[in-house]
Structure 1
Amino acid sequence: MSFSRRGFGAFFAAVAFLAVLFIGRVATADFVGALVEVKVQAADDPSQEGMLRIAVPYEKVGSAPAERIRWRLEKALEVKSQHGAVLATIDDLDVDVEGDPKVSLSFAVTAGPAGSNFSITSTTVSFSPLGSPLAFATAAVTVTDEDSNGAVATGLFPGAKIYQARYNSPAVAWADLIASPVVVAPDDSLTAQGRRPTPSGREAMPGTVYSIASEFRFNLSPNDSASGTSTFDVLIPLPSAAYGITALLSCMGLARLRRQR
């Protein structure tokens, strides 16, 4: 049987298609709850609280695979209590989510005069169940003293961590990142960060995963500022059977090409 170079190229195109077919993509994806939600409490009186809640655009609900939503706050916004007191200022807020699935969440905030407790939560990306997908989570926070008396940010997750990447419902914490307190000298800034796995790469998540979300939760000292970035990314693993089939077909193609030379 003749196997020309053109035929060889077509063969490998078929192999590539097969690999993509085995890898697949998320069959369905949806964005559950608010696109992003910011809750703020006065540190000295948690009953004083306010909220910013951005809804998922209607046309994105029940969206197609790998659908992406990117939203960013247009201008700084004060968060006020039910009594009109300013609890904090949201200077920047950016959420980028994909049904593939991936969640990126970034923010910049300034605490109120009594200090502020912040909870900044992404939408939940829901998708077809995946068995032991490969994932990574990374986050960083920069704390800045704004009133020449030092600054402190303290995480409100277990172990005083500032950021959490979680999955499924009820939620299971997969990565609690950024150790605290983050203590800053007067008129200075300091960045703290964390990653799972470290220092790079991906790690298999346990069992079956069908949704992901992320959240920053921390206390910030009065009048000081903090900014943060994060990404929680899940990759659909290539089944071992697909590796075997594509490798076998590739070897067959190479052998045929050699016989034609």
Structure 2
Amino acid sequence: MVHGLSAQLRWVALAAVGVLVCTGAALGGASPATASIIEVTATCGGHTDTFSEVFPVASFGGVLPWAIQGLVMADEGQELAVFSDLGVVFDADPQVDLRFAVTNSSMTDPVYVSIKAARLVFDGIPNAEARATASLTLTDGAGSPANASLTSAGTFPNQKLYQARYGTHPVVWTNTAFASLVAQFSTDFGQGMTERLPALGWSDLGTTVYMMESEFEFILSPGDQASGTSAFVIVPEPASICLLALGGMVVARRRRRAA
């Protein structure tokens, strides 16, 4: 399902006092580097199912949301997992927000789940800064074995369950990890975990960034439920934004004088 697009203004000029306040960058739009807007894999009891949805547009500006409810993952008549909610929101600025809510359909076997948002390509962001946040909630299902757990599949370091990645080349995907967040955990009833990098402010990447993507990957205990949300944002450092904006103002002023 594709919703309407809406542009966002990310800078404010205070010309009256000669001050320019910059909080983001107005980029020239974004486009997918992968064919699918989202890719999901579920494996349980020797069965595997995959789901993907074609990216609905070749490029976009502003905000592009997508969501589905009631997605059933099954193989050869064997139900593996049910997603009561699955969604992603892309912002061309750029930003990727990923969310899900899933139940393991098996009362005896754990289910492996991977949820990957499309990789975005955008105009190079010089002197880039980034931040990422991930939250996961785990609930012990009714009638399921005691002690619900979300376990690392071993792909991300330090037993983490979410990863945000970026690319530093305009064509070749460098697959550079920015943040691996939320370590595996368990609970007897229900528990939520949240992690953010950095804890405050922004992390300086010290390079130009052209691509980004994010992914949840975990193993969910039998009969239990898990939900998660994440946000991954990349911006130029404030000095770079202001220099670009001031450069544009100088050019405009010269043109007016020439006229």
TM-score (norm 1): 0.77
In structure 1, distance between residues paired with 2:202 and 2:112: 32
* CA shift in 2, pair 1:101/1:41, >3 Å: same
Unmatched 5+ residue regions in structure 2? Answer: 1-12, 168-172, 250-259
Q: Is the 8 A contact 1:121 1:215 kept in 2?
A: yes
Q: CA deviation at 1:115?
A: 1.6
Which AA in structure 1 matches 2:203? E
Partner of 1:252: none
Q: CA deviation at 1:126?
A: 0.7
Alignment of 1:39-188 (within 5 A): 39-42=41-44, 44-45=45-46, 48-57=47-56, 60-63=57-60, 66-73=61-68, 75-81=69-75, 83-113=76-106, 114-146=109-141, 147=144, 149-156=146-153, 157-168=156-167, 169-180=173-184, 182-185=185-188, 188=189
- Partner amino acid for 1:144? T
Are 1:219 and 2:219 an aligned pair?
A: yes
Aligned to 1:62, the other structure's residue is in SS state coil
- Residue 27 of structure 1: aligned partner: 28
TM-score (norm 2): 0.78
- The letter of the residue matching 1:155 is S
Q: CA deviation at 1:13?
A: 6.0
Shift of 1:214: 0.4
Q: Is the alpha carbon distance of 1:245 and 1:164 closer, same or farther for their aligned partners in structure 2, counting shifts above 3 Å? A: closer
Q: Report the alpha carbon displacement of residue 19 of structure 1 after superposing the two structures with TM.
A: 6.6
Percent identity, please: 31
AA aligned opposite 1:127: F
Deviation at 1:56, TM superposition (A): 1.3
Shift in Å, 1:24: 4.6
Aligned partners of 2:232, 2:103: CA distance in 1, in Å? Answer: 25
> Higher helix fraction: Structure 1 or Structure 2?
1
* Contact 2:110–2:222 (Cα < 8 Å) also in 1: yes
Residue 105 of structure 1 and its aligned partner are, at CA, apart by: 0.3
1:209 positional shift: 0.9
| SS of match in other structure, 2:237 | coil
Please identify the structure whose Cα radius of gyration is greater: 1
Query: Contact between 1:111 and 1:225, CA under 8 Å: does it hold in 2?
Result: yes
Q: Gaps (5+ residues) in structure 1?
A: 1-9, 250-261
Structure 2 counterpart of 1:12, from 15, 30, 46: 15
Shift of 1:240: 5.6
Taking the aligned partners of 1:226 and 1:11, their CA distance within structure 2 comes to 46
The CA distance in 1 between the partners of 2:52 and 2:133, in whole Å, is: 24
Distance in 2 (CA, whole Å) between partners of 1:135 and 1:213 is: 12
User: Partners in 2 of 1:118 and 1:163 — Cα distance?
Assistant: 12
Sort the Cα spacing of 1:12 and 1:211 in 2 relative to 1 into closer, same or farther, 3 A: same
What one-letter code is carried by the residue in structure 1 that aligns with 2:148? Answer: A
Equivalent in the alignment of 1:258: none
Distance 1:244 1:110, change over 3 A: closer
Deviation, structure 1 residue 167:
0.6
Distance 1:241 1:35, change over 3 A: closer
Count the aligned residue pairs: 223
Decide whether the 8 Å contact of 1:155 with 1:163 is kept in 2: no
Runs of 4+ aligned structure 1 residues displaced above 6 Å come to: 243-246
Distance verdict in 2 for CA 1:26–1:224, change over 3 Å: same
**Which deviates more, 102-111 or 84-93?**
84-93
What amino acid maps onto 1:78 in structure 2? V
Counterpart AA for 2:175: A
Would you say the 8 A contact 1:99–1:126 is kept in 2? no
- Cα distance in 2, alignment partners of residues 245 and 76 from structure 1: 46
- How far apart, in 1, do the equivalents of 2:54 and 2:112 lie? 22
Pair 40,11 (structure 1): closer, same or farther in 2 beyond 3 Å = closer
RMSD: 2.7
Cα distance in 1 between the residues matched to 2:197 and 2:228: 17
Q: Is 1:201 matched up with 2:194?
A: no
Q: What residue in structure 2 maps to residue 210 of structure 1?
A: 210
What displacement does 1:244 show? 11
